[in-house]
Amino acid sequence: MGFEKLVFSKEAVHELLREYGSPLYVYDEETLRKRCQEMKNLMKYPLFRVNYSAKANTNVELLKIICSEGLDVDGMSPGEMHLEMKAGFSSDRITFIGNNVSRNELQFAVNQDILVSVDSLSQLRLLGEINRGGRVCLRINPGIGAGHHDKVITGGKKAKFGIAIEDLNLAQDIAANYDMTIIGLNHHIGSLFLESKAYVEAAAGILELAATLPSVEMVDLGGGFGIPYRHGIESRLDLAVLGNELDNLVEDWVASHRSINIRTEPGRYVVAECGALLGTVTAVKENYNTFFIGTDIGFNTLVRPVMYDSYHEISVVPQEDRPYQEYDKAVYVVGQICESGDILAHDRVFPCCQEGDALIVHDAGAYGFTMASNYNSRPLPAEILLEKNGGIRLIRKAQTLEDLWKD
Ligand SMILES: Cc1ncc(COP(=O)(O)O)c(C=O)c1O
């Protein structure tokens, strides 16, 4: 490695931290637009559209860019739908993918004329009471799942999501009781796949179900498209191969059934790589033969490593020029939160650090800020956008201590 693996110049990193505070989320508009286009062009099938899964990042300025690139959007809560509408998505471009949501939350979507996908028979009944005669999608749990960690496997017999395939007949009866039309099926089997096989198999499965439901005019194949967090080790997901397989599958299905709208719902793929998290080394110590690099990047700012044991590449930007040197043993990079589990990276080969050095945590645009918290009463960091035209724009102010409590 070396100090050189940077996305910004050394001076820029320190300047940004000085100006906007540390830690700091930074997004690159050009990368975001590129990833949107890659997802949009995944399939050649003419009735294919992409719903960005906004849970990955709901900054309104990023949502505006995604909207302008022509993607549609999923919302998991009234809060997400509210932000999506603020960013310019009209209600016909939003789908509410609810999980155990309340009557009021369903009512919010119905009031805005937003299509709802329900994921249990009980939620279908509730929606029927609120929206008799309306249109509905069903989230299916195909009984199998996939993903990089147990906590992101969202399909399968032990997952809390979706309607079991064996209950589809009951769902049809309930829909009929409320004069509702089942117009769509969706599923999401899990997150972060880098090979197409499981996704395409699951897609074949949900299309088979759609064949038995003539009212279904849209099938959403889910998200989960991975990115190579381990640079130079993991390969990129081959979108050309995946797209081709999906095109073949859908074209065969259409030839023997009917025309159908196809959707995907990627979150991470769209936003992960456009984002980096900058922070600062605050302390360095060796305790009982283990090196700890103490930083201001606790799990209040980036929880993925703690929650999923996720890996992020980390670059060091020294405050002053000095020769590159590595620790002679693996190190722990840790945050400032009062929890022993507050570990950003463990067992890393790492450059020797000094207090005041800056850090770049790469690929932090997805499930970074959106999962950040005020734990230990620490204010949330600022977010900035590196614009395509070279400008730098503050797109969310850092919280202040006053923001922690408002009467
Ligand atoms: C229903 C649903 N759709 C889409 C996504 C987006 O997943 P990813 O960011 O892995 O593409 C998720 C994430 O958990 C999800 O639960």
What is the value of pTM for the model shown?
0.96
Catalytic residues: 338
Ordered structural domains, the chain, with CATH: 10-21+274-401 (2.40.37.10), 30-270 (3.20.20.10)
Q: Which residues contact 197 (CB under 8 A, 6 or more apart)?
A: none
List, for residues 185-238, the tens digit of each pLDDT value: 999 988 899 999 999 999 999 999 999 999 999 999 999 999 999 999 999 999
Going from the Cα of 337 to the center of ligand 1, the distance in angstroms, rounded, reads: 28
Q: Which residues contact 251 (CB under 8 A, 6 or more apart)?
A: 45
Ligand 1: lining residues by beta carbon, under 6 Å? 53, 56, 97, 154, 188, 191-192, 222-225, 265-269
Q: Which of 50, 55, 187, when mutated, tests ligand 1's pocket best, judged by the most ligand atoms within 8 Å of its CB?
A: 55
Going from the Cα of 279 to the center of ligand 1, the distance in angstroms, rounded, reads: 27
- Split at pLDDT 50, 70, 90, the class of 153 is low
Going from the Cα of 265 to the center of ligand 1, the distance in angstroms, rounded, reads: 7
List, for residues 284-317, the tens digit of each pLDDT value: 999 999 999 999 999 999 999 999 999 999 999 9
DSSP conformation class of 233: T
Spacing of C-alpha 140 from chain mean position: 20
DSSP conformation class of 76: S
List, for residues 54-93, the tens digit of each pLDDT value: 999 999 999 999 999 999 999 999 999 999 999 999 999 9
Question: Could you tell me the sign of the dihedral formed by the alpha carbons of 4, 5, 8, 10, in that order?
Answer: negative
Distance CA 363, CA 391 (A): 21
Q: What is the largest CA-CA distance in the chain?
A: 74
Q: What's the pLDDT score for residue 1?
A: 37
Distance CA 124, CA 105 (A): 13
